[in-house]
Amino acid sequence: MPPITPVSTSVEADGSPAPSVSPDAHRVVVSGAELGRPAFRGARSDAHWMALALERAREAGDRGEVPVGAVVVREGVLVAAGSNCPIGTSDPSGHAEIVALRAAGRALGNYRLTDCNIFVTLEPCAMCAGALLQARFSRVVFGARDPKTGAAGSVIDLFAEPRLNHHAVCIGGVLAEESAALLREFFAARRRPKGVA
Ligand SMILES: [Zn+2]
């Protein structure tokens, strides 16, 4: 996979056309290309954080929830994590991003998460995209696309909507295949007749 370049709107991590670099992109650049440079010594790659989000997604799947996970990172430090839980909590807003941003807000004592990045295994829906914009995340990184409800380019792109006041750098496609495979396996298992391994 080529190094991930922060971009101004939601495009695939390996995407073209050549993205423009957001003014916010300098804040936390943790792509593989930066590793080893003194200014970013110790920085983790997007794939590293997405792998942690995938762990949370698997944990949600183990509970019978659609396997989606998210982690919030600030200045290279894990702040909070969340996993999908609408069924278990009887809460339609219990998406991984919402759980993670609420936990991050509590952890940091701030309703604005301006210096934070969020890594989520599935493209945010409109509800979550709105919440992420409200939280002022500087960067939103997601894994698989969601062609049915994705609000970062698949159905609509709230991150690229100039009429909205707040903007976040948004990129997709980080560990996308792993995230999509987890979802495919989850739904395939649910469709499988009982008793069939
Ligand atoms: Zn959502």
pLDDT digits (tens, 9 = 90+) for 32-66: 333 333 334 346 799 999 999 999 999 999 999 99
Alpha helices per DSSP H over the chain: 46-62, 86-89, 96-108, 126-134, 176-191
pLDDT at 19: 36
pLDDT at 165: 81
Q: Write down the catalytic residue from 75, 97, 161, 177.
A: 97
pLDDT digits (tens, 9 = 90+) for 60-116: 999 999 999 999 999 999 999 999 999 999 999 999 999 999 999 999 999 999 999
The alpha carbon of 14 and the centre of ligand 1 are apart by a number of angstroms equal to 24
pLDDT at 193: 77
Which helix (H) or strand (E) segment holds residue 140: the answer is: strand 139-144
The alpha carbon of 87 and the centre of ligand 1 are apart by a number of angstroms equal to 14
Whole-number Å distance between alpha carbons of 65 and 128: 17
The alpha carbon of 185 and the centre of ligand 1 are apart by a number of angstroms equal to 20
Say whether 65 is catalytic: no
pLDDT digits (tens, 9 = 90+) for 112-160: 999 999 999 999 999 999 999 999 999 999 999 999 999 999 999 999 9
Supply the DSSP symbol for 22.
Answer: P
pLDDT mean over 162-187: 94
Termini Cα distance of the chain: 34
pTM of the model: 0.78
Rg over alpha carbons for the chain, rounded to the nearest Å, is 16
Sign of the alpha-carbon dihedral angle for 73, 116, 139, 90? positive
Q: Which residues, chain by chain, have CB under 5 Å from ion ligand 1? A: 95, 125, 128
8 Å CB contact between 86 and 70: no
